[in-house]
Amino acid sequence: MKPALADYCILVLSFICVLRSEKCVQEYIGRQMVFEENNPLRLDCSIQHYERANFTLNWYMNGNDTPLVTQLFPRVFQEKTSLWFIPAIGQDSGLYHCIISYRNSTKCYKYSVPIAVLNNSAGRCFNEQYYLKQTLFPRGPSPIVCHQVNMFGQKVDYPSIHWYKECEPIQGERFELFTNHLIFKDVKKDDEGKYVCKGTYTFRGNKYNFSNSILMNVLEDLARKRTEILYPINHTIEADVGSNVFTECNVSSFKDTPISISWRVNNTLVDNLFEGRIIEGFQTNIPKEGAEIFTVSLNITKLKNEDYDQYFTCHAGEVAAYIKIQRPTKNRAAFVILILLLIIPVLICILFKIEIVLWYRKSCRPFFHKKVSDGKIYDAYVLYPKISSQVDFVLKLLPEVLEKQCGYSLFIPGRDDLPGKALVNVVDETITQSRRLIMILVSGSSSSEEAPEQNIAVYHALIPDGIKTILIEMSKIKDYSNMPESIRYIKQKQGAIRWKGDFMKKDSSSANSSFWKKVRYRMPPEHQGSQELALMPAPCSASQMIEA
Residue numbers annotated as active site: 453
> Which segments within 348-485 are labelled E, that is strand?
378-383, 410-411, 434-441, 468-473
Q: What is the 3-state secondary structure (H, E, C) of 428-462?
A: HHHHHCEEEEEEEECCCCCCCCCHHHHHHHHHHHH
Angstrom CA distances, 100 to 15, 55, 81, 112, 495, stand at 18, 6, 10, 12, 49
Query: What is the rounded CA–CA span in Å between residue 385 and residue 388?
Result: 9
User: Each residue of 325-356: b (16+ CB within 10 Å) or e?
Assistant: beeeeeeeeeeeeeeeeeeeeeeeeeeeeeee
Angstrom CA distances, 261 to 26, 43, 293, 493, 544, stand at 30, 22, 12, 67, 71
**Identity of the amino acid at 511:** A
8 A C-beta contact, residue 246 and residue 239: no
DSSP 32: P
8 A C-beta contact, residue 61 and residue 49: no
8 A C-beta contact, residue 484 and residue 439: no
Please provide the DSSP assignment of 474-511 as one string.
SS-----TTS-HHHHHHHHHH--EE----TTSGGGG-T
Residues in the chain: 548
The backbone torsions φ and ψ at residue 93, rounded to the nearest 5 degrees and listed phi first, read -60, 140
Query: What is the rounded CA–CA span in Å between residue 423 and residue 451?
Result: 12
8 A C-beta contact, residue 116 and residue 11: yes
DSSP 323: E
**Which residue stretches of 126-273 are H helix?**
221-225, 270-273
The SS3 assignment for 426 reads: helix
**Identity of the amino acid at 22:** E
* Beta strand 291-300 pairing with 245-254: antiparallel
DSSP 396: I
**Which of 196, 226, 42 lies closest to 134, judged by CA?**
196
Which distant-in-sequence residues (6+ apart) come within 8 Å of 507 by Cβ? Answer: 501, 513
Torsion of CA 222, 223, 225, 229, to 10 degrees: 180
Sheet holding 434-441, edge to edge: 410-411, 378-383, 434-441, 468-473, 497-498
Query: What is the rounded CA–CA span in Å between residue 195 and residue 498?
Result: 88
Query: What is the rounded CA–CA span in Å between residue 256 and residue 165?
Result: 22
Which distant-in-sequence residues (6+ apart) come within 8 Å of 372 by Cβ? Answer: 524, 525, 527
